[in-house]
Structure 1
Amino acid sequence: MERNDILISIIIPVYNREAFIGQAIESVLGQSVVDFELWVVDDGSKDRTSDIVQGYAQRDARVNYVYQENAGVSVARNVGLSRSGGKYVYFLDSDDALDFEFLRTSIDVIERSAADVVVVGQPYQDRLPHPTALPTCGQLWRHAFLKQNSTVRFPVGVQPGEDGLFSHCLLAMTDRIAANPAGIYYYGRHEGQNHLLINRDCESVLQQMDKWFTYLDDFYSRESLFERRALHLAKFLEHEPFELRYLLMPFNAEQKERVFQSVQDFYKRRVAPYLPKEEFDSLSGRFQLFLEASSAEDFDEQYEPYKNRINNSIKWKLKLLKLLPISSWRRKIRQQLWKKEIK
């Protein structure tokens, strides 16, 4: 039964994390905010995870343990959300941890701003004021807003990318977005974790991308958002399948072509008919180059000269900065130029 007096619900999905789940729970119990409930949803662990979590639950009434047969991280998060009664909701990964002021500073921001979501952590501030997708660690939600949009939940059977799809669809439904750069999140670093740059299963990612586009198509059709939020959708394509996958993952030539064709096909069908010219021009130059190329090979041939041209231009501008008399101006412009540098 929902309890309206709880300030925040924290949800941790977990599967076979006996070495790390205690640290994650301790980081929640050690928060400066004490008015919370913690839901740990065990996705069918075979190790000692269950014993560890239930030990915490016996010692602290704020810790709740839920067991489910293995169904995936999306189902686990959705189950935790369905049981949550807090005014706000935050999702924590089972092998990570929070700084002790993480929740307090985030709640202060969302209460002062009356936002629907707070973008937490310095690494995600450059996505503001209009973020297109966020990892779970970077999003703290107002529960009432999640209830109003109850058809948006973590997509079942999708991983990686489930958190980006969840946040992208919710962000399409609001402009009430605030920021807490002071929130500090500690990532676990260990063998077997599912961070993007360690996940080298390119074929699996390719198969998941088809599910992303199906999920997006269903959502935008159901909410009649293609015309109103075309740029938001275009920015998702730019960030998730293009920047984080095509450019960073070690796809072979055949896989690159499949990514290229998949993204271009979705863009031409579901974005291009609704995206005004001035909004297309707001996309990054390299993504525009990608969308206008005839093939992955064609894009790769054009991309290196493009990258070198942009970076050389930035180097010259950095040299000219020395002529500016005020150091604060130089510092601000230098930071802006560094952000534009293409790696």
Structure 2
Amino acid sequence: MENLVKRTVEVSVVMPVYNTADFLQEAIESVLNQSLQDLELILVNDGSTDESDLICKAFTLKDQRIKYLDQENSGVSIARNKGLEMARGEYVFFMDSDDTIDKGFIKSSYDTAKRNNSDLVVIGDYFCKRFQKVRVLSTWAQMLRMDFLRKYPEVRFPENIQPGEDGVFSHQLLLLTDHVSLNPQGIYNYRQHPNQNHSKIKKQSWKVLRQIPLWFDILVRFYTKYDPQKSHSLHLARFVEHEPFEFRYLALELDDSQKQYLHGLITDFMFKHVLPYLPEKDKVKLSVPFLDFVYSSTHNEFDKRYYKYVKSRRVIKKFYLFLVRFVPLSGFRRSLRKKVNAKF
């Protein structure tokens, strides 16, 4: 009888694996050594061509909490979704196979979830501070209740989309629940190396830009079903502000034709699907540069004004930091300096 019943564990950790042999052992051990031990680790090998497969298999022999799935290379979204299908945890966490988590990461997040009866826990000081303004989360900045995910089986990581798959996924979930809590104590150790996806994205700007219409198509279908009155238009506006504007237009090194293309995409989407439903009181909650971008007739017009905007902010920041130097108490001085740096 015991073999017929799957025992629920407290947390399932789903870890897609693709050619990360150099870092995989450390990543796996950081999960197995968590202070919360009632967990399972689901390794999904997405067609690795290095030693990753051997490392995964070796660990399955060492620890019964590990499940292993080997699939043909299909992309990180399919790997995560398959891992989710295998999960039997009360909560689930998705982790990259080249990173590590601090020993108390899972326990502090799980305890936060249980204490607040949460569908979703936002993890990490950075994301907790930005949560109200940025309605998207990186994969590793969220722990999710399995029953909540089962309630919305159509909301999964979008297949054949990368980057942005985690932003689209989390954005939808954040609209579907108010049972959200924050765990700023969760420390995720994000490893930077030349082969990681983030580094590749910066070198493949057109590939990234061609993904954005796919993000928009998914969100239009989602909002049509779950928010037909567009009552959460600010929620959608903040996705556009953060993902395609801040994280792509401002952060990537784009040439003139790419900027023109992205400006057209964003402004067309905003005027068609967001601004007609966005109350004036909510518009002021968006950043000045983003609103200027949306209402600029061309990307060149925006770029000129944005250059002046950034320059003026730098001058103001230097002025405030200069004044802080004359504050007599060192502790208060450090606190003020920190606030000025955070604001500007």
Would you call these one fold, judging by a TM-score over 0.5?
yes
Q: Any idea what the Cα deviations from partners look like across 1:208-243, whole Å, max 9, x if unmatched?
A: 111111111111112125612100110111111111
Q: Any idea what the Cα deviations from partners look like across 1:231-260, whole Å, max 9, x if unmatched?
A: 011011111111111011011011001011
Judged with a 3 Å threshold, the aligned counterparts in structure 2 of structure 1 residues 200 and 314 are, in CA distance, closer, same or farther, namely: same
Per-residue deviation, 1:45: 1.8
Amino acid of the structure 2 residue aligned with 1:7: E
Gaps of 5+ in 1: none
Q: 1:205: which partner in 2?
A: 208
Amino acid of the structure 1 residue aligned with 2:61: Q
Q: 2:168: which partner in 1?
A: 165
RMSD: 2.1
Structure 1 contact 226–271 (Cα < 8 Å) conserved: no
Q: 2:65 aligns with which of 58, 62, 66?
A: 62
Q: 2:77 aligns with which of 74, 78, 90?
A: 74
- Give me the whole-angstrom Cα distance separating, in 2, the residues matched to 1:212 and 1:2: 39
- Between 29-38 and 179-188, report the one with greater CA deviation: 179-188
Say whether 1:19 aligns with 2:22: yes
Q: Any idea what the Cα deviations from partners look like across 1:288-320, whole Å, max 9, x if unmatched?
A: 111111111010011111222334344445555
The TM-score normalised by the length of structure 2 is 0.92
Amino acid of the structure 1 residue aligned with 2:52: T
- Give me the whole-angstrom Cα distance separating, in 1, the residues matched to 2:147 and 2:332: 42
Q: 1:179: which partner in 2?
A: 182
SS at structure 2 position matched to 1:140: strand
Say whether 1:267 aligns with 2:298: no
The TM-score normalised by the length of structure 1 is 0.93
- Between 181-190 and 293-302, report the one with greater CA deviation: 181-190
Say whether 1:291 aligns with 2:309: no
Say whether 1:40 aligns with 2:51: no
Q: Any idea what the Cα deviations from partners look like across 1:237-289, whole Å, max 9, x if unmatched?
A: 11111111101101101100101100111111110111001101110111111
Structure 2 contact 16–79 (Cα < 8 Å) conserved: yes
Q: 1:109: which partner in 2?
A: 112
Say whether 1:218 aligns with 2:221: yes
Structure 2 contact 7–88 (Cα < 8 Å) conserved: yes
- Give me the whole-angstrom Cα distance separating, in 2, the residues matched to 1:242 and 1:130: 14
- Between 330-339 and 93-102, report the one with greater CA deviation: 330-339
Report percent identity of matched pairs.
40
- Give me the whole-angstrom Cα distance separating, in 1, the residues matched to 2:63 and 2:224: 45
- Give me the whole-angstrom Cα distance separating, in 2, the residues matched to 1:122 and 1:233: 23
SS at structure 2 position matched to 1:16: coil
- Give me the whole-angstrom Cα distance separating, in 2, the residues matched to 1:72 and 1:131: 26
- Give me the whole-angstrom Cα distance separating, in 2, the residues matched to 1:226 and 1:194: 37
Say whether 1:28 aligns with 2:34: no
SS at structure 1 position matched to 2:192: coil
SS at structure 2 position matched to 1:271: helix
Amino acid of the structure 2 residue aligned with 1:284: S
Say whether 1:188 aligns with 2:209: no
Structure 1 contact 77–154 (Cα < 8 Å) conserved: yes
- Give me the whole-angstrom Cα distance separating, in 2, the residues matched to 1:18 and 1:184: 23
Structure 1 contact 226–270 (Cα < 8 Å) conserved: no
Aligned length: 341
Judged with a 3 Å threshold, the aligned counterparts in structure 2 of structure 1 residues 15 and 323 are, in CA distance, closer, same or farther, namely: closer
Amino acid of the structure 2 residue aligned with 1:238: E
Structure 2 contact 163–201 (Cα < 8 Å) conserved: no
Amino acid of the structure 2 residue aligned with 1:218: R
Structure 1 contact 202–249 (Cα < 8 Å) conserved: yes
Q: Any idea what the Cα deviations from partners look like across 1:165-192, whole Å, max 9, x if unmatched?
A: 1111101112222111111111222221
Say whether 1:9 aligns with 2:30: no
Structure 1 contact 234–271 (Cα < 8 Å) conserved: yes
Judged with a 3 Å threshold, the aligned counterparts in structure 2 of structure 1 residues 241 and 233 are, in CA distance, closer, same or farther, namely: same
Amino acid of the structure 2 residue aligned with 1:13: P
Structure 1 contact 6–36 (Cα < 8 Å) conserved: yes
SS at structure 2 position matched to 1:13: strand
- Between 177-186 and 70-79, report the one with greater CA deviation: 177-186
Q: Any idea what the Cα deviations from partners look like across 1:64-93, whole Å, max 9, x if unmatched?
A: 001112111000000001111100100010
Say whether 1:92 aligns with 2:107: no
- Give me the whole-angstrom Cα distance separating, in 1, the residues matched to 2:115 and 2:200: 36
- Give me the whole-angstrom Cα distance separating, in 1, the residues matched to 2:315 and 2:62: 60
Amino acid of the structure 2 residue aligned with 1:138: A
